[in-house]
Amino acid sequence: MTTWNYTSKPDFILMGLTDSKEIQLVLSVLFLLIYLVTVLGNTGMMLVIRLDAQLHTPMYFFLTHLSFLDLSYSTVITPKTLENLMTSNKSISFMGCFTQMYFFVLLAATECFLLSSMAYDRYVAICNPLHYSFVMSSRFCSTLLTGSYVLGAVDSTVNMICMGTLDFCNSNVIHDFFCDTSPLIALSCSNTHDIEFIIFVFAGSTLLLSLITISVSYVSILSTILKINSTTGKQKAFSTCASHILAVTIFYGTMIFTHLKSNKSFSLGKDQVASVFYTIVIPMLNPLIYSLRNKEVKCAVSRVIKKKERALD
């Protein structure tokens, strides 16, 4: 049995989603369109928030970085996936594979904590509006953002250190379309029990801590909204949270389904569908959710367009 690890650095082979040439063609066109919408949507969201002074608030400060994270982790995965679908080259270098995994875990974990920060922002805005400007100061928002990136980096670094200790015997074929923790652990011939436990604890802690923050925030928000006598006031309060709730539900639903279980039980079918959803589809959906369901963003887009038209005139 040939054993190799990071010292020998062979190429991995990404088997992708299907062997059918016809389906590969359809998926390549579909993923390319999704990626273009992702790039345009998230870049557009960042530009609109940047250009419109009325959106220079904590909520949109976090939304700018959510768009950046979505664009970044889609870019970590999608271009290589498109290359595999459009060409016969399915190989990825050992370093390339682990680099892809590191940045994906970093960006996904950071997004978990960023979504928690956004939930806390909504909690303060609705439950403690008189102190909102004081609590959600620029300095505090920057601290929350920095903390999200630091915690994401810790999670990703621990994951990388654990994965770097694995040995792989003979097979270098990854039965997935990108380098994720689960298919790589399933490929390893090492005793992965302790590594799986450590990764599970850190991934579970990330999801649990962020979900507790979000849940507590929204329980308090719901309690406050139910005390509002005005129907209009209730609708306005709900509308400020609706986009975030939808984004959180979609993101965490697929994350929990895919990662909070034994990595050795990786399934080619349902796990890959979930992976496609949260790596390729969700980064496209978030800017659509926040723009189509948010009157402030739509008004800001209109103001930016009119401003540019006046500048051209």
pLDDT in tens, 119-170: 999 999 989 889 999 999 999 999 999 999 999 999 999 999 999 888 887 6
Q: Tokens 């996936």 label which residue? A: 81
Q: Tokens 């999200």 label which residue? A: 148
- Whether the CB-CB separation of 121 and 145 falls below 8 Å is answered with no
Domains of the chain (ranges; CATH) run 11-312 (1.20.1070.10)
Structure confidence by residue, pLDDT tens digits, 193-238: 888 899 889 888 888 899 999 999 999 988 888 888 877 777 777 7
Cα–Cα distance list, 33 to 20, 78, 212, 304 (Å)? 20, 11, 35, 25
* Residue 292 confidence (pLDDT): 62
Give which of 253, 249, 243, 247 is closest to 292, Cα–Cα: 243
Tell me how far the alpha carbon of residue 75 is from its chain's centroid.
Answer: 11
How far, in Å, CA of 229 to CA of 210, rounded? 31
CB neighbour list of residue 294: distance below 8 Å, 6 or more residues apart: 243
Look up the pTM and report it.
0.86
Burial class (CB in 10 A: 0-12, 13-18, 19+), 45: buried
Q: 174 - beta bridge partners?
A: 14
